[in-house]
Amino acid sequence: MSAAKPRKRLATVWLAGCSGCHMSFLDLDEWLLELAQHADIVYSPVASDQKRYPPAVDIALVEGGVANSDNLALLKTVRANTKVLVSFGDCAIHANIPGMRNMLQGADPVLRRAYLDLADSSAQLPHAPGLIPELLDQVLPVHELVPVDVYLPGCPPSADRIRTVLEALLQDRRPDLSRAGEIRFG
Amino acid sequence: MSVCTLRIDDQDVAIAAGSTVLQAIRSAAIAVPTLCHLDGLSPVGACRLCLVEVEGSERLLAACVTTVQDGMRIHTNSSRLQEMRRTLIELLFSEGNHICAICVANGQCELQDLAVRVGMDHSRFSYRYPNRCVDLSHPQFGLDHNRCILCTRCVRVCDEVEGAHVWDVGWRGEHCQIISGLAEPWGAVEACTNCGKCIEVCPTGALFHKGEGTDEKHGHPGRLAALVQGRSRQELEP
């Protein structure tokens, strides 16, 4: 009798995105039960109560661009504690819709536009150091800040594509999405 | 009619002298990606996606603007060319503001399809986020410069097929953009006949019908070839 294969430690992470990629992850439906047979979900906004990113994670799906200081700190923690980091969805891969604020060239013009120019009344810039994370000047894709192992584009990537990636990673294989023609943006 | 014979990727091809290398490649059913090229319009070699290796030539040649020569030996799909095509697509994406998810052409966009075809799963170049504008001055149509890749199909179709020459290319370098009239708002250009051919041939969502939402633009670049062919046989009045 062979020893049981060790269960993978899986995390999903939500940075600056709409959570649509996570909704698509939930669209895996009954395959989620199969996933639970092979992996422990150790950190996830939709599948775990864990508040701190744990050590020794095997696979992390990272949704969203990096828009503020909290996103950046969490991403660095994720990279330091994860074997395979998947850039999950268009926001993680090229900042996508959150990145459209980059056209205003800097955090200050963005805050002024949102909180002063467009304010109906009581216009004021948010300022609560330590409580509200500071906006970075640009929303950046994940791979411009830390090394990425697998790219999974799509807005959102379909549940089928997510499954293709997870099935390969659970078996310690690199998913070959380019050959499967499954790397479409949008 | 004299004929040239050439060898493309280990395949012998015979084609009429004066044809382009791209026509020879297509006649042999070999797949080479193109973007600025459109059957029915003059070739310009703007996008560089159809670059091929020709033995005896050190530089790469754009197949759409290179005339065949007898005995040419051509390679269309070397790893060097594959890498170059992916790089070109990455540069196109990083140069403008291409957000597929909220684009009228999402799912129908030639740029988006080419990204899939060249295996682009991310861009190795940082996006530039240029400050570009949208022209909604025309009563029926819109132009979003953020999505324009300067293929000049609209310029050529308006000049060569419609004969109105509303469009042209203005400015230089990173400021280069499609202009209507003498860089006037599109709606103020009296030469525009409202024919909509520029919308049909635009490979992205840059030119669109007003009122089209995300995923709702359906270009018809193939109709142009039928129109041009019909006119050349005098089946259709210009």
Please compute the mean of the pLDDT values over residues B74-92 and round it to a whole number.
97
The yes-or-no verdict on residue A2 having pLDDT over 60 is no
Q: B72 and B156, same structural domain? A: no
The yes-or-no verdict on residue B197 having pLDDT over 90 is yes
Domain membership flag for residue B201: yes
Which residue, among A20, A27, A12, A63, has the nearest Cα to B101 in the 3D structure?
A20
The CATH number of the domain where B185 resides is what?
A: 3.30.70.20
Confidence of residue A97 (pLDDT cuts 50, 70, 90): very high
Q: B180 and B91, same structural domain? A: yes
Count CB-CB contacts under 10 A for residue A68: 16
To the nearest 10°, the Cα dihedral for A104, A107, A111, A113?
A: -10
Q: B79, B72 in Cβ contact below 8 A? A: no
The yes-or-no verdict on residue A5 having pLDDT over 90 is no
Q: B145 and B122, same structural domain? A: yes
pTM confidence score: 0.94
Which residue, among A177, A90, A139, has the nearest Cα to B100 in the 3D structure?
A90
Domain boundary among B60, B77, B94: B77
The yes-or-no verdict on residue B152 having pLDDT over 90 is yes
Q: B97 and B59, same structural domain? A: no
Domain boundary among B33, B48, B77: B77
* Cβ neighbours of residue A155 closer than 8 Å, sequence gap 6 or more: A20, A89, A90, A91, A96, A185, A186, B100, B101
Which residues of A, range 113-172, sit inside 8 Å of B by Cβ?
138, 141, 143-144, 148, 151-153, 155
Q: B71 and B93, same structural domain? A: no
Does B122 contact A181 at a Cβ distance shorter than 8 Å? no
The domain ranges of chain A are 8-100+138-170
Q: B178 and B195, same structural domain? A: yes
Q: B42 and B122, same structural domain? A: no
User: What is the length of chain B?
Assistant: 238
User: How close B122 gets to chain A, by Cα (Å)?
Assistant: 6
Q: B93 and B59, same structural domain? A: no
Distance from C-alpha of B105 to C-alpha of A29, rounded to nearest angstrom: 30
Domain membership flag for residue B183: yes
Which residues of A, range 53-92, sit inside 8 Å of B by Cβ?
87, 90
Domain membership flag for residue B14: yes
**Domain of residue B95, residue span:** 84-232
Domain membership flag for residue B211: yes
Confidence of residue B221 (pLDDT cuts 50, 70, 90): confident
Does A183 contact B116 at a Cβ distance shorter than 8 Å? yes
Query: Of all residues in chain A, what percent are helix, strand and coil, respectively (each to 5)?
Result: 35, 20, 45
Chain A CA closest to residue B98? A96
Chain A CA closest to residue B115? A184
- Among the partner-chain residues A103, A152, A153, the one whose CB lies closest to the CB of B129 is A103
Chain A CA closest to residue B129? A103
Assigned CATH topology for domain A8-100+138-170:
Rossmann fold (3.40.50)
The pLDDT assigned to A3 comes to 62
Q: What is the pLDDT of residues A35-77, one digit of tens each?
A: 999 999 999 999 999 999 999 999 999 999 999 999 999 999 9
Query: Which chain B residues are closer than 8 Å to A103 by Cβ?
Result: 97, 129-131
Report how far apart, in Å, the C-alpha atoms of B85 and of each of B8, B123, B147, B189, B238 are: 18, 13, 19, 37, 37
Domain membership flag for residue B237: no
The pLDDT assigned to A179 comes to 66
Q: How many domains does the structure of chain B reveal?
A: 2
User: How close B88 gets to chain A, by Cα (Å)?
Assistant: 16
Domain boundary among B44, B77, B110: B77
Q: What is the pLDDT of residues B13-48, one digit of tens each?
A: 999 999 999 999 999 999 999 999 999 999 999 999
Q: B132 and B59, same structural domain? A: no
Share of chain B above pLDDT 90, in %: 91
Please compute the mean of the pLDDT values over residues B119-141 and round it to a whole number.
96
Confidence of residue A180 (pLDDT cuts 50, 70, 90): low
Q: Does A36 touch chain B (CB under 8 A)?
A: no
Domain membership flag for residue B238: no
Q: B200 and B98, same structural domain? A: yes
Which H or E run contains B168? strand B167-170
